[in-house]
Amino acid sequence: MLDTMTVPNSSAAGTGTGHGTGHGVGHRAPLSHATTEFEKKDRCGDLPHRPRVLLGKMGLDGHDRGVKVIARALRDSGIHVIYSGLWQTPRSLAISARDEDCDVICASMMSNSHLVLGPKLVGELRGMGRGDLPVYMGGILPQEDIPQLKDLGVARCFTTGVGLLDIVEAVRSAVRARSATIGGGGLTAQLARDISLVHDGKTLRSGAKKRRPRRVVGITVYPVSLKKKLVAQMVSEYSRRSKGGEAGFTGRAAVVAFDPMSPITSGALLGDRLRVDFNSIGEGVYYRSLAISGEDYHALPEILELIGGASEGESGEDGAFDLVFVETVGAGQNETKIRQYVDTTAVVLTPGMGDAVQMDKAGILEIADVFVCNKADHPGEHELVRDLRDVAGRRAILETVATRGEGVSEVLERVMARP
Ligand code: B12
CB 375 within 8 A of CB 401: yes
Average pLDDT over residues 160-178: 96
* Residue 232 · residue 253 · CB < 8 Å: no
Residue 108 Cβ contacting ligand 1 at under 6 Å: yes
Is the minimum distance from the CB of 17 to ligand 1 under 6 angstroms? Answer: yes
Q: Whose CA is nearest to atom 44 of ligand 1?
A: 138
Question: What is the mean predicted confidence (pLDDT) over 353-373?
Answer: 76
108 C-alpha to center of ligand 1: Å?
Answer: 10
For residue 304, pLDDT over 70 is answered with yes
Q: What is the pLDDT of residue 271?
A: 67
Mean pLDDT of all residues in 231-258: 91
pLDDT-based confidence at residue 63 (cuts at 50, 70, 90): very high
Q: Is 63 in the pocket of ligand 1 (CB under 6 A)?
A: yes
User: CA–CA separation, 387 vs 87, rounded Å?
Assistant: 41
pLDDT of residue 21: 37
Closest CA to 115 of 139, 81, 149: 149
CA atoms of 302 and 210, how far apart (whole Å): 8
Q: Render pLDDT for 178-228 as a digit per residue (tens, 0 to 9).
A: 999 998 878 999 999 999 999 999 999 999 999 999 999 999 877 666 677
Q: Which pLDDT does position 185 carry in this prediction?
A: 76
pLDDT number for residue 177: 96
Task: Kindly tell me the number of DSSP H helices and DSSP E strands found in the chain.
Answer: 12, 13
Question: What percent of the chain clears pLDDT 70, i.e. is strictly above it?
Answer: 84
Dihedral of alpha carbons 183, 186, 187, 190, sign: negative
The Cα–Cα gap between 325 and 344 comes to 10
Q: Are 82 and 289 in contact (CB under 8 A)?
A: yes
Residue type, 157: C
> How sure is the predictor about 366, in pLDDT bands with cuts at 50, 70 and 90?
confident
Q: What is the mean pLDDT of residues 226-250?
A: 87
Residue 414 has pLDDT above 90, yes or no: yes
Q: Cα–Cα distance between 350 and 380 in angstroms, integer?
A: 9
**pLDDT of 31 over the 70 cut:** no
Q: Which amino acid is at 7?
A: V
Of the listed ranges 26-35, 118-127, 270-279, the least confidently predicted one is 26-35
- Report which of residues 6 and 45 the model is more confident about: 45
64 Cα to the center of ligand 1, angstroms? 8
Tell me, what's the pLDDT at 365? 82
In sequence order, the 6+-apart residues with CB closer than 8 A to the CB of 199 are 290, 299, 303
Domains of the chain and any CATH numbers: 7-173 (3.40.50.280), 215-416 (3.40.50.300)
- Determine the Cα–Cα distance for residues 252 and 175; give it in Å rounded to an integer: 31
Q: Exposure of 397 by Cβ count < 10 A (0-12 exposed, 13-18 middle, 19+ buried)?
A: middle
Q: Is the CB of 158 under 6 A from ligand 1?
A: yes
Separation CA 88–CA 330 (nearest Å): 27
Preceding omega of 90 cis (within 30 degrees of 0): no
SS3 for 238?
Answer: helix
pTM of this prediction? Answer: 0.90
